[in-house]
Structures are given as C-alpha cells and as structure tokens.
Amino acid sequence: MNILLMILSAIISLVTGMFFLGLARKIMAMIHWRYGPPIYQPLIDVIRYFHQRAVSHGFIFDLGIIISLIGSLLVVFFLPLGNISSFSNSGGLLVILYILILSPLGLALSSGESANPNASIGISRKLILTLSYEFVLIIILLSLMSQYQTISLQEIVMLQARKVWSFASWKLILPGIAYLLILPAMLGFRPFEIAGASQEISAGPSVEFGGKYLALNTINHGLLHFITIALFVNLFLGGGDLFGIFDSISGTFWGSFVSLIIFLIKMILIFVISVFINAVFPRLRLEQATKYILYYPLSIAIVGLIIVVAIN
C-alpha cells in the first residue's frame, strides 16, 4: 500500500511540477500579451534534453544532481497530499526541513564541481538567499508546531481540518502572511531571481548543465515549485480539506481523490498568484533581497511567533 502511495505521490508531484513550469511560462506570456508555449512544453523539453549531448565535469557533477533530485522526491513522500501520505509519520516537519536541504546541497555540489565561476557565484547567492528566507520559514514552522503541539505535518493538517485553517485563525495569520511574502523567494521567482539570473551570471548554478543534467535540473525545479506550494497549502490552507464538506467520505477512495483534487486546486491558485508577482516585479540585488526578507517577513513572523507563544 505504502509503495503504491509513494509511486502515486511521486507521479502526482512530477506531473504537477511540470505543469507548474508550463503554467508559469504560459501566464507570463499572456501577461506579456503573447501566445506562449503550450503548457506541456517543459515535458517536451525534458525529453529533448535527454537526447542531447552533455558534458560532465566529474563524478560529483553527476552525483550532485542526482542527490538533488533524490532530496526533492524524498520530501514529496513526507508531504501529505490531500489524504495521501506515504510516510509523513517518520519524523514529521523536522525531517522535511532537513531533507529540503538535500536538494540545494546536491545542486551546489554538482555545480561546484563544474568549476565555472558563474556557477559558484550563483551557488553562493542561492545559499545566502536561502539562509535569509530560511530564517522566516523556520519561525513560521515553529509557530505552527508550537501552536499545534506536534512536529508531524500530517497532524497539523488534521487539526486544521478539525478546527479552522491556520490561515483563517487569527493566531496564525501573521505566519501565513510571512510565508506568502517569502514564497517568491522560495520559488526563485522575481524579484528574487538572484541565484539563477540568466542574463547576469548565465543562469548561475545550472550554467554547465546540458543534456540530461538539464533535464534532471528542470524536473527538480518543477518538484521544488510543487513542494514549496504544497507545504504552504498543508500548513495554512488545511491541505485537502474544504471546510469539512467532504468529511463524510473521508477514508474512502473517493474521499482521498476529492481531497487530492481540492489540494491541487489550492496549489494552483497559490501558484498563479506567485507568478503574477513574478511578472510585475523587477529583479532585486542580493543585498536588497536579503534586507527585504530580513526586515518585513521576518518581523511579521517573529511577531506571529510571539503571539503564539504568549497565548500558549
């Protein structure tokens, strides 16, 4: 059963990730008043990349990208997708937080081995940026975990379904807002498109990736979109819950299906919002971005955490 769920969630996440990538390009194009590529274009790209020539810089160059992808996929298993959760009871949010590290680290190793200065600069920027939004993210997670008195993501989702979505509860609205504010940064969208700035440092970490490396990188990218948003939905929007309307069929196949659908819809909504932001803002410099994150979202998140702690 578990293995089935694993495979299912892997497929869902991969597909959704690809879909998000395509969707992003599509929406951007529409904002730019163009027609844009078809929504399945990223998938086509991936397949195409696979058959192109690629250069390798060494063993870690290969291994890094694989680790990165393993990391991303692994996180997916720990996320409850609607009612589907493979092993969200193996360590909970803390494990997620840790496995989230794997992906950037693998990428960093891989591009580090490539010995391209642009890649190194990109990695350096990416890590710094990550560090800064991680400040906020950690506080957000801590407020949730303190509020719900558990470290299991699944339980957090269930508790939301039983009471009220975190985003709607006045205690947790501040963390929610903070999360939304750092969401573009987590997705690597403008105004936080600093690490992978294609014009400035030739797409940063992925500069040396070509062929199947680029393919894996694209998949990874999609997965990261998926994970970031799925995490938000799980944490703040009650996961696959819709005001308890479908509580009656929970536990059945259809219940799971419905909740999954609801889950995905929520995700798409959030994603679209982020893409709009991406389209509107210009790119910030790293210092600006860091400062921004450390001023506004962080202070909001800290206030949120203080409220939570004070009330408990």
Partner 1 sequence: MILFYMMIFAFVGAFLIYFAGKSFPRIKEILAVVISFLLFLFVALLYGKDFQINYHNFLGFHLFLRINMFSWLFALTITFLGFLSIIFSLSYMKDKKNNAFYYMNMLFVNIAMLGIVLAGDLISFFIFWEIMSWSTFLLISYKKGSALPASMKYIIMSIIGSLSMLIGILYLYDLTDTTIISQLSHIIRFINKGDVIFVVILFSIAFGIKNAVIPFHNWLPPAHSEAPSPFSAILSGILIKMGVYGFLLLFYVIIGLDIIFHLTGLTIVLNVLAAITIIFPTFLAILQNDAKRLLAWSTVAQAGYIFMGITYGTELSVAGGIFHFLNHAIFKALMFLAVGAIEYRTKGIRDLNSLGGFIKKMPFTFAAMLIGAMGLIGLPLTNGFVSKWLIYKTLILNGSPFLAFAALIGTWGTILYSYKLIHNIFLGQLPAKFENIQKAPFSMKMPMMILSTIIIFFGILPGIPLQFINKIIVSFGYHPLNVSLFGIVSDSGNLNIINILAATFVIGVLIVLFFRSGRKSVRVDQYDNYAAGSFIPKEKYSYTNSFYAPLDRFLNSFLKDYIDIFYCKSAALIRHFCNGIRKIYTGYVGSYVMYILLFLAVLIFVQLNWSVF
Considering only residues 44 to 73 of the shown chain, the ones binding partner 1 according to CB under 8 A are 50-60, 62, 66, 69-70, 73
Report the SS3 class of residue 283: coil
| 252: region left, alpha or beta (phi > 0 left; psi from -120 to 50 alpha) | beta
156 or 181: whose CB is closer to partner 1?
Answer: 156
Q: For residue 278, which of 196, 217, 208, 201 has the smallest C-alpha distance?
A: 196
97-136: which residues touch partner 1 (CB under 8 A)? 97-99, 101-102, 105, 108-109, 112-118, 120-121, 123-125, 127-128, 130-131, 134-135
Please identify which residue in 42, 92, 191, 240 interacts with partner 1, judged by CB under 8 A.
92
Return all residues near 237 (Cβ < 8 A) that are at least 6 apart.
165, 166, 167, 266, 270
Shortest distance in whole angstroms from residue 271 CB to partner 1:
24
One symbol per residue from 250 to 289: x for binding partner 1 (CB under 8 A), - otherwise; what is it? ------------------------------------xx--
Q: Nearest distance from residue 91's CB to partner 1, in Å?
A: 5
d(CA 204, CA 120): 7
> To the nearest whole angstrom, how small is the minimum distance from the Cβ of residue 246 to partner 1?
27
Cβ 240 to partner 1, closest distance in Å?
A: 21
The verdict on 166 binding partner 1 (CB under 8 A) reads no
Contact of 131 with 195, CB cutoff 8 Å: no
Residue with the two structure tokens 């990874």: 220
Name residues contacting partner 1, limited to 203-232 (CB under 8 A). 207-208, 211-213, 215-216
CB nearer to partner 1: pick between 266 and 297: 297
For partner 1, the closer of residues 108 and 224 by Cβ is 108
Pick between residue 100 and residue 270 the one whose CB is nearest to partner 1.
100
For residue 101, the surrounding DSSP H or E stretch is helix 92-113
Q: Is 143 in the site for partner 1 (CB under 8 A)?
A: yes
Our CB check for partner 1 shows the closer of 124 and 250 to be: 124
To the nearest whole angstrom, how small is the minimum distance from the Cβ of residue 96 to partner 1? Answer: 10
Of 220, 3, 6, give the one whose Cα is nearest residue 108.
220
Q: Taking the complex as a whole, how short is the minimal distance between the CB of residue 120 and partner 1, in angstroms? A: 4
- Distance from C-alpha of 21 to C-alpha of 128, rounded to nearest angstrom: 24
Please say whether the beta carbons of 150 and 266 come within 8 A.
Answer: no
What is the phi-psi region of residue 189: left when phi exceeds 0, alpha when psi lies from -120 to 50, beta otherwise? beta
Please tell me whether residue 89 binds partner 1 under the rule CB under 8 A: yes
Own/partner contacts of 86-90, CB < 8 Å, gap of 24 or more, are 86/2, 86/5, 86/6, 86/9, 87/2, 88/152, 88/153, 88/154, 89/152, 89/154
Residue listed under structure tokens 């560090």: 131
Half-sphere exposure of 205 (CA within 13 A, CB side): 28
Q: Which stretch binds partner 1 (CB under 8 A): 30-38, 87-95, 159-167, 225-233?
A: 87-95
Kindly state the smallest distance separating residue 211's Cβ from partner 1, in Å.
6
Q: Which of residues 6-45 bind partner 1 (CB under 8 A)?
A: 6, 10
